[in-house]
C-alpha cells in the first residue's frame, strides 16, 4: 500500500481537530453505527477542557489505495523542541487557516519550522462559510507570511483548498462544490511525496514518549530504514552515540484510525509505536545492534526555570510552628 505522512498545522480554534474528525469519518474509519466522540484526537482531559492540542498524536486513514498517517501538532514555542521532532516524521503539512482571522502566531511558529525542513505545504482556508470570511485577504496574508519566513519559490507555489471542516467539505474553489473532503484527500496523495526510505538495518528516531499500564514505556517514531518486528533485539543510542540500553521489542504498534494495532512487521517509512525498552527516551535512536551512528535529532529543551524543594536546614528550623519536618535530605 502507498504511504503518505503529513502534519496538520493550525492556530488554536481554527478547526484542526474538527477537520481530523471529518477526515476519519469520510475515509470510512468508523462503522456506520459506531458512536464517535467529538474532537476525537483531543484524548487528554486538559485538551478537552481547554479545546487545545497539547500532546502530539498520530492517526491513520486509508484513501483509495494510500494510507495517510496524520500527525496532530502542538503549536507552542515552549514545547521543548517537540514541534521540530514531530516534523521529522512527516513529508508534508496542511496549513489550516481561519477564513476570518487569518494566520496567527501559533501558525507562524510551526510553519517556520516546516519551511526550514524544506516541506512544501498545502494551505487550507477553513470556515469559509462564516459571514465575516475574507478568503482573498487571508490568502495574501499567508503568502506574505511564507515570504517573510524565507520560503523557497517551490514552497511559495502552494496549492490552496477552501472549505468548512465542521461541515465536511473542501474544494479547490471558494464556491465549491461543497460536498466532501475528497479534494483534500486527492491533493494530499498527489502533492505530498512518499517517505524517503534509507537503505540499511532498522533505525527509528524516538519522537514521543508515553507510559502504558500493560506495556510500560512506549516510544513513537518513524522507521527511517529497515524492518521492525516483535521479539527482535534492538539497542538505544543517545544523541552522542552512547549506548543507553539493549532491549527486546515486545510490541510493534501501528496506527489504524484512532487505534494502535499490534503488527507482525513494520517497514521503513511507517510511523509506529515500539514497546520493550526501560530507559530509552525522546531523541534517542532505536536501532539494530549493528548500527553505531544515531540519527541526528532535536534535544528536549532545558527548562526555563528549575526549582529544588528541600527541607529547611536553616538556623531557625524547628524554632516555631507545629508542623513536623520531613527527615529526607532533599526532594527534587
CATH number at residue 276: 2.40.30.10
**How far separated are the first and last CA of the chain, in Å rounded?**
49
Whether residue 328 is contained in a domain is answered as no
Range(s) of the domain holding residue 94? 2-191
Residues 179 and 102 in one domain: yes
Residues 185 and 283 in one domain: no
Report the domain count for the chain: 2
Compute CA distances 112 → 103, 115, 125, 132, 187, whole Å: 12, 5, 18, 27, 22
Residues 143 and 283 in one domain: no
Whether residue 326 is contained in a domain is answered as no
The residue out of 191, 220, 253 marking a domain boundary is 191
Residues 94 and 44 in one domain: yes
Q: With cut-offs at 50, 70 and 90, classify the pLDDT of residue 332.
A: very low
- pLDDT, tens only, 127-163: 898 888 889 999 999 999 999 999 999 999 999 999 8
- The set of cell numbers assigned to 25 is 469519518
Lowest-pLDDT choice from 78-82, 99-103, 218-222, 302-306: 78-82
- Positions of E strands within 226-267: 227-228, 233-237, 243-248, 251-256, 259-262, 266-267
The residue out of 191, 213, 234 marking a domain boundary is 191
Q: What is the pLDDT of residue 209?
A: 87
Residues 92 and 160 in one domain: yes
Residues 129 and 243 in one domain: no
12: nearest Cα among 110, 90, 91, 146: 110
Whether residue 47 is contained in a domain is answered as yes
Compute CA distances 178 → 13, 27, 127, 129, 167, whole Å: 22, 17, 12, 10, 9
Q: Model's pTM, two decimal places?
A: 0.78
Mean pLDDT of 247-271: 90
Q: What is the CATH number of the domain that holds 28?
A: 3.40.50.300
Q: What is the pLDDT of residue 323?
A: 59
Amino acid at each position: 500500500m502507498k504511504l503518505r505522512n503529513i502534519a496538520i498545522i493550525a492556530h488554536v480554534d481554527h478547526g484542526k481537530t474538527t477537520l481530523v474528525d471529518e477526515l476519519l469519518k469520510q475515509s470510512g474509519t468508523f462503522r456506520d453505527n459506531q458512536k464517535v466522540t467529538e474532537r476525537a484526537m483531543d484524548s487528554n482531559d486538559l485538551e478537552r477542557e481547554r479545546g487545545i492540542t497539547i500532546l502530539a498524536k498520530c492517526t491513520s486513514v486509508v484513501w483509495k489505495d494510500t494510507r495517510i498517517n496524520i500527525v496532530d501538532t502542538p503549536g507552542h514555542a515552549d514545547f521543548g523542541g517537540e514541534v521540530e521532532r514531530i516534523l521529522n516524521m512527516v513529508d508534508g503539512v496542511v496549513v489550516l487557516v481561519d477564513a476570518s482571522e487569518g494566520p496567527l502566531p501559533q501558525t507562524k511558529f510551526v510553519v517556520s519550522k516546516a519551511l526550514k525542513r524544506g516541506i512544501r505545504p498545502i494551505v487550507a482556508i477553513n470556515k469559509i462559510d462564516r459571514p465575516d470570511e475574507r478568503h482573498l485577504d487571508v490568502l495574501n496574508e499567508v503568502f506574505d507570511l511564507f515570504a517573510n519566513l524565507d520560503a523557497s519559490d517551490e514552497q511559495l507555489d502552494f496549492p490552496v483548498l477552501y472549505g468548512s471542516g465542521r461541515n465536511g467539505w473542501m474544494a479547490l474553489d471558494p464556491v465549491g462544490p461543497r460536498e466532501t473532503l475528497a479534494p483534500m484527500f486527492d491533493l494530499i496523495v498527489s502533492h505530498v511525496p512518499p517517505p524517503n526510505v534509507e537503505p540499511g538495518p532498522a533505525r527509528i528516531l524516538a519522537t514521543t514518549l508515553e507510559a502504558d499500564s500493560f506495556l510500560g514505556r512506549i516510544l513513537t517514531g518513524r522507521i527511517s530504514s529497515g524492518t521492525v518486528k516483535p521479539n527482535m533485539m534492538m539497542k538505544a543510542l543517545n544523541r552522542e552515540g552512547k549506548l543507553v540500553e539493549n532491549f527486546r521489542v515486545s510490541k510493534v504498534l501501528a496506527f489504524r484510525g484512532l487505534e494502535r494495532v499490534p503488527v507482525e512487521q513494520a517497514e521503513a517509512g511507517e510511523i509506529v509505536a515500539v514497546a520493550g525498552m526501560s530507559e530509552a527516551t525522546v531523541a534517542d535512536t532505536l536501532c539494530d545492534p549493528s548500527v553505531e551512528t544515531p540519527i541526528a535529532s532535536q534535544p528536549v529543551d532545558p527548562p526555563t526555570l528549575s526549582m529544588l524543594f528541600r527541607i529547611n536546614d536553616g538556623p531557625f528550623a524547628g524554632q516555631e510552628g507545629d508542623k513536623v519536618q520531613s527527615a529526607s535530605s532533599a526532594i527534587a
